[in-house]
Amino acid sequence: MLSIFNHMLNYLKIILLHCLPQHSLSRLIYRLTRIEFKPFKSFLINIFIRLYSVDMSLALNTHPADYRSFNAFFTRKLKKNARNWVIDSSFILSPVDGAVSQISYIDDYQLLQAKNKKYSIEQLLGGDVTLSRNFLNGSFVTLYLAPRDYHRIHMPATGRLIKSIYVPGDLFPVNATSVENVNQLFARNERFISIFETGLGLMAQIMVGAIFVGSMETVWLGEITPTKKRKLTIKEYNNQSIKLNQADEFGHFNMGSTVILLFQKDKLLWLPDIKKNSLIEVGQLLGNAII
């Protein structure tokens, strides 16, 4: 009886999410989190720290009052010794703090979203058939960033940027309830895809937007979203030299979401102790190159 009730409750939640003005609500949060009025921003920051038990001792700036806005606090940097980086070209490192939503190998062109739910590489990569072929039977990991986590994204391996794709879409939440109930969620939500040439072949690092994620940024483009031009945008970087080394900062979410990594077939092995729901830290070893 309880399981039926929970199923119905989740179903009602998903219906509600379809009805919400997702982009309008996200733009509202974008504005609110950038208010610099001290009483307001300090109230938000202190409530958030207590609600999510944020460990400010790890932050480069440990004093909440010193952040000019809630967003400045949310995208805070960490102290240099806060995380243990294992820099090595034969390793794949976690690009974020968070939890493993899925980690596995691509089944033909299909990625696992949740139990009994899959989506295709082609859908995820904005319909780019040629690019999708590169990741046939490759490897993938989906990493979820909770509100309390460090929200800057780093490079799991050294790479040269060759292509980026902005894909407009929905802004469903990316929590467990949504991932388990919204079909093809990661291929439906707004996302920014970056393709790198690495020592392990091609790598895709994908930032997936979600409701209340008012903005996504990269170190080479700056703020990507929100944007008035919500259309598929592809940029080639063949004539530009944009190289990011392993552990370099890649970008950040203004509010939280999900990062998906794709690698080509027979290029790496995931560590056996990294499984679904494993908590991970940025810089942590996720996999080894196949030599």
Between strands 139-144 and 258-263, the pairing is antiparallel
DSSP 149-186: S--EEE-SS-EEEEEEEEE--B----SHHHHHHSTTHH
Tell me which DSSP letter residue 189 carries.
Answer: B
What value, to the nearest 5°, has the Cα angle with vertex 159 and ends 158 and 160?
A: 145
Tell which residue, 95, 77, 85, 287, has the closest CA to residue 196: 95
Angstrom CA distances, 240 to 37, 100, 161, 163, 208, stand at 41, 33, 8, 10, 25
Question: How do residues 233-254 score in pLDDT, each as one tens digit?
Answer: 999 998 788 999 999 999 998 7
Question: How do residues 179-194 score in pLDDT, each as one tens digit?
Answer: 888 889 999 999 999 9
Each domain of the chain, given as residue ranges in start order, spans 2-74, 91-289
Distance in angstroms (rounded) separating the CA atoms of residues 244 and 161: 8
Question: How do residues 103-121 score in pLDDT, each as one tens digit?
Answer: 999 999 999 998 889 999 9
Angstrom CA distances, 270 to 250, 275, 286, stand at 22, 9, 6
What value, to the nearest 5°, has the Cα angle with vertex 115 and ends 109 and 120?
A: 20
Task: Please list the active-site residues.
Answer: 97, 154, 257
Q: What is the pLDDT along the chain (291 residues), one digit of tens a residue?
A: 545 545 555 556 556 655 566 666 767 777 888 899 999 999 999 999 999 999 999 999 999 999 999 999 999 999 988 998 989 999 999 999 999 999 999 999 999 998 889 999 999 999 999 999 999 999 999 999 988 899 999 999 999 999 999 999 888 888 888 888 888 999 999 999 999 999 999 999 999 988 766 578 999 999 887 666 778 999 999 878 899 999 999 999 877 689 999 999 999 999 999 999 999 999 999 999 987
